[in-house]
Amino acid sequence: MEFNVKKLASDAGVFFSRAMQFTEEKLGQAEKTELDAHFENLLARADCTKNWTEKILRQTEVLLQPNPSARVEEFLYEKLDRKVPSRVTNGELLAQYMTEAANDFGPGTPYGKTLIKVGETQRRLGAAEREFIRSASISFLTPLRNFLEGDWRTISKERRILQNRRLDLDACKARLKKAKAAEAKAAAEHELRLTQTEFDRQAEVTRLLLEGISSTHVNHLRCLHEFVESQTNYYAQCYQFMLDLQKQLGSSKGEIFSGTFVGNAESASPSAAASPPVAAATLPAVPTIPVVPTIVGVPNTVAEGVLNPNEVKPPASGTRRARVLYDYEAADSTELALLADEMITVYSLPGMDPDWLIGERGNQKGKVPVTYLELLS
């Protein structure tokens, strides 16, 4: 008990001495040992690294998990050293709803079929998002957290010790100046030498830790490259998934609207011709794609499966204008490459795939996909 009291009194005395020295420095009544310029630059660089690492870490967490409640839950699991439970992504949840809706509406209906296709793509997008979050957390977030919770805590601890050693050193210098008797001066000089040695030793330890910030930057740079690689792979997967879905929906759309594009023959059936005439003002005219008639004796290039754009002649009248919705790259010489927002002339051929039309732009001619066009009346 006696030892503890003495230690407590000694610690209280040291604390009081440091507090007095710190207060007098702030009031300009005591001298302060200044660190060299290189050391100050290292301190400023370390503080800058810590501040920006915290901001980048927090914002990356927001990017990967926009839900603040979910982030708090993950933080608690991490602090409790427990595994974070698997969470369904928004894409996977949307896929589940679309699949259930398709089953209710009828998976054989056009709407149900489309819901199933889109739902499957959303499921793949959700799985890709989950993998991206996992990869980014391991390769980028974890190293940033390790720096803040490991290296930076060590640096902060050593800096506090250095600050205390400096206060002790300056307090000893002040006592030496105030000493009058020779014996008091000798004791103060001895204490000053010990304190100076401790301060120099602690300054060297802190300096080495601060110079290690350069290695931290190199490590974070490597992690940043890995994060970009993960993000690139994720968006490339999403782009490919959406392209595949667009192709699937293109064929479905052609089936749904084929009656509008090339179904003129049905409207001219005998039963329709025998029906009583209807006034023109009663039914609005529905614009259709003109069909090039088949001439007896002339080979039908579409029916034979080979299209030579130079042999295709547009109808004498009734061609339609169309606006291109998306860029399209021609797969072969029979197709026409398209640029978004450009205007082209289109028409259809007998026996032609309802998903395709003949497109003309100046002297260029070729097949174009219907789903890439907005037909204008």
Alpha-carbon distances of 359 from 168, 188, 333, 344, 368, rounded to whole Å: 87, 98, 13, 6, 6
Most confident option among 56-60, 107-111, 309-313: 56-60
What local confidence, expressed as pLDDT, does residue 1 receive?
Answer: 44
User: Quick one: average pLDDT of 25-49?
Assistant: 85
CB of 309 closer than 8 Å to CB of 332: no
| pLDDT tens digits for range 6-20 | 666 566 666 667 777
Burial of 251 (0-12, 13-18, 19+ CB in 10 A): middle
Q: What is the pLDDT of residues 86-122, one digit of tens each?
A: 778 889 999 999 999 999 999 989 899 999 999 999 9
Position 66 scores a pLDDT of 83
Distance in angstroms (rounded) separating the CA atoms of residues 274 and 183 = 133
What is the model's pTM?
0.60
Mean pLDDT score, 76-91 = 75
- Give the model confidence (pLDDT) of 234-246 as tens digits: 999 999 999 999 9
Determine whether 332 is exposed, middle or buried from the number of CB atoms within 10 Å of its CB (0-12, 13-18, 19+): exposed
DSSP 325: -
With vertex at residue 250, the alpha carbon angle to CA 245 and CA 256, rounded to the nearest 5 degrees, is 125
Residue 256: pLDDT over 70:
no
Q: Name the residue with tokens 């997008």.
A: 125
Residue 86 near residue 73 (C-beta atoms within 8 A): no
Task: Work out the percent of the chain whose per-residue pLDDT is above 70.
Answer: 72
Residue pair 21/171 in contact by the 8 Å Cβ criterion? yes
Among 197-206, 259-268, 321-330, 349-358, the least confident range: 259-268
Q: Are strands 373-375 and 320-324 parallel, antiparallel or unpaired?
A: antiparallel
Give me 243's structure tokens. 């392209």
Q: Which of 256-270, 277-291, 305-319 has the highest mean pLDDT?
A: 305-319
Burial class of residue 175, CB neighbours in 10 A (0-12, 13-18, 19+): middle
Backbone angles phi, psi at 93, to 5 degrees: -65, -40
Q: What are phi and psi of 367, to 5 degrees?
A: -75, 145
Q: How far apart are CA 346 and CA 364, in angstroms?
A: 12
Tell me the mean pLDDT in the region 135-139. Answer: 93
Taking residues 334-359, report their average pLDDT. 89
* Band of residue 312 on the pLDDT scale cut at 50, 70, 90: low
Q: How many CB atoms lie within 10 A of CB 69?
A: 8
Both structure tokens of 50: 């810590």
Q: What angle do CA 363, 368, 370 make, to 5 degrees?
A: 140
**273-299 pLDDT tens trace:** 344 443 333 444 444 444 444 443 344
* 183: confidence class by pLDDT, cuts 50, 70, 90: confident
Q: Which residues are registered as beta bridge partners of 320?
A: 346
